[in-house]
Amino acid sequence: MSHLRPMDPAFPIDRQIELEASPVVLINLFTLDKADEPSFLEVWQDDAAFMKRQPGFISTQLHRALGENPTYLNYAVWESNAHFRAAFIHPEFRAKTSAYPSSAIASPHLFQKVAVADICVA
């Protein structure tokens, strides 16, 4: 990835992957130039196919924001942060990130579900 912009600059993804947690959800917001949208989608698909083959991967989904400018939100569910970390630091994945268009900016962050009585289950 050409550019990473943390959702929380005080706690970027490189610090998050050091923690032990299970399960985890990766939320990644991408912004890019409209002209780069087709190549972005090709590269993302290749990345997602790689991640899908990794141990601990559960699922992923890509969403496009409404409107003219291409903004995408990806979420991926992993059995554990250890599984995500292994995939994220894998040399093959790291090499793939250079294929993203130069305008693409990713803002990845890891989350865990929160239980809220009568609304959400953990």
In the prediction, which pLDDT does 113 show? 93
In the prediction, which pLDDT does 86 show? 98
Contacts of 52 (CB under 8 A, 6+ apart): 60
Amino acid at 52: K
What are the pLDDT tens digits along the chain (122 aa)? 458 999 999 999 999 999 999 999 999 999 999 999 999 999 999 999 999 999 999 999 999 999 999 999 999 999 999 999 999 999 999 998 899 999 999 999 999 999 999 999 87
What gap in Å lies between CA 56 and CA 34, rounded to an integer? 33
Structural domains of the chain, ranges and CATH numbers in brackets = 13-111 (3.30.70.100)
What global pTM score does this model have? 0.92
In the prediction, which pLDDT does 102 show? 94
Contact 29, 56 (CB under 8 A): no
In the prediction, which pLDDT does 121 show? 85
What gap in Å lies between CA 94 and CA 4, rounded to an integer? 13
In the prediction, which pLDDT does 122 show? 75
Contact 61, 74 (CB under 8 A): yes
What gap in Å lies between CA 8 and CA 19, rounded to an integer? 16
In the numeric block, which tokens belong to residue 109? 């962050």
Contact 105, 32 (CB under 8 A): yes
Any bridge partners for residue 71, and if so which? 31
